[in-house]
Amino acid sequence: MFVRLVYESFRRQKRRKLLAGVAITLGVGVATAMIAVATDIGDKISRELRSYGANLVVTPQEDTLDLQIGGVDLKPPSDGAYLNEADLPKIKGTFWRHNIVGFSPMLPVNVSAGSVQSVGLLGTYFSKALRFGTDDFTTGVRITHPWWKVQGEWPKDDSSDVLLGERLASRLNLKAGDHLEISGQNHAIAGVLSTGGSEDEQIVAPLSLAQQILGRPDAVRRIYVSALTKPEDALARRDPKSMNPELFDRWYCSPYVQSIAYQLQEAIPHSHAEQIRQVAQNEGAVLARIKGLMLLITFAALLASALAVSAAMATAIFERRAEVGLMKALGAGSASVAALFFTEAVLLALMGGVVGFVAGALLAREIGRSIFSSQITIDPVLFPIILAIAVVVTFAGSAAAIRRAVKFDPVYALKGEG
């Protein structure tokens, strides 16, 4: 009899049940999409922000030494300390090597160029093929500095061709394909570089050329590293020296920018690595705000769904007050009446939850494709969570109406009075 009552309820009130089901489906669908995107958005946001530059810089350890005697700073003002280029492939040997998107060594020197007696020349990798162990990889400014634009061609890393900053090219009245005498040697200008930064006033050349001009083979002044990282939390800001072994292992095995910097220092002898704080902090702030916005949208969608379910269920139960009065007149208790309506609510929640989950998964994939140009991964564990949310929302929307139904006086209910 109980099953038949539930069946007849769905058969006779198709419109009311459909409205409640649609409300649940919409709310759950939006919640599914937002939760799926929020749980899979970390790496994608991090990759997007990597297009704004490196988030770590590695410099010689001597640069961090504070040499003061009697209040007088004895630290040399010149760039006298260097890293060894031969150590660079070791970056891909760190624990978080797969999170290292790329790195670019830099070596600035002063040269004469044409009619200009002193101009900056920056040696770097453009798209350098390297090997660590059995792994081959390519790195350079074309990966870590994607906003650099070149009119002409990029130089080869094993050539003597150079890029000319656009402001310097304009001052010297040179263009791609021309030649320029640099420190007494003739070099082809492969392209004109535009960065919006100090490089527009400089010559950018292969690292080997800068090392040759400086007379320091294998010398590197600093290394810019672009890495996928996890936003800072309380553990990330802890000093690793103050941690016990268990806590240190947890910190070391988390992709915090601080832990990756620590591993870079381990990989490159006599080096100091630190985050470029503006980029790293902006990444965490942007991610937190986007997740906060998604949480707000999810809450609003579920609240609207609960209100719609409440209105639909209240109307449906009011229309069935005679049925409730008859059940009570025949001896049904408040618990039996409540069980009937809660069973209907659970069935509605499950049906709306399943449809909403499928719709939300499709919406999440579309968001991933259109915004991040990649696919959002739907974790299977999200399905039972979404069904639970659907049940809670439906119960929250139905509770007031069901409570009123169990309090119906059978006398007035059978007379058609509320």
Beta strands in 248-362 (DSSP E): 271-275
For the segment 160-204, what is each residue's pLDDT rounded down to a tens digit?
999 999 999 999 999 999 999 998 899 999 999 999 888 999 999
Residue 77, number of CB atoms within 10 A of its CB:
6
For the segment 313-328, what is each residue's pLDDT rounded down to a tens digit?
787 777 766 666 667 6
177, 152 Cβ separation under 8 angstroms:
yes
Of 118-132, 212-226, 397-411, give the lowest mean pLDDT range: 397-411
Q: What is the DSSP string of 216-252?
A: -TTEESEEEEEE--BPP-TTTTS-GGGS-HHHHHHHH
Distance of alpha carbon 405 from alpha carbon 418, whole angstroms? 10
Q: What is the pTM of this model?
A: 0.61
For the segment 351-378, what is each residue's pLDDT rounded down to a tens digit?
999 999 999 989 888 888 887 666 777 8
Tell me the domain boundaries of the chain. Answer: 2-47+284-415, 56-68+77-275
Tokens (6 digits) for 147 = 């906003």
The partner residues of 73 in beta bridges, in order of sequence, read: 68
| Count of positions (residues) in the chain | 418
237, amino acid identity: R
Distance of alpha carbon 30 from alpha carbon 357, whole angstroms? 9
Confidence of residue 294 (pLDDT cuts 50, 70, 90): confident
Distances (CA, A) of 206 to 45, 125, 162, 285: 31, 6, 7, 36
Q: Which element (helix H / strand E) includes 104? A: strand 100-113
Tokens (6 digits) for 162 = 């150079």
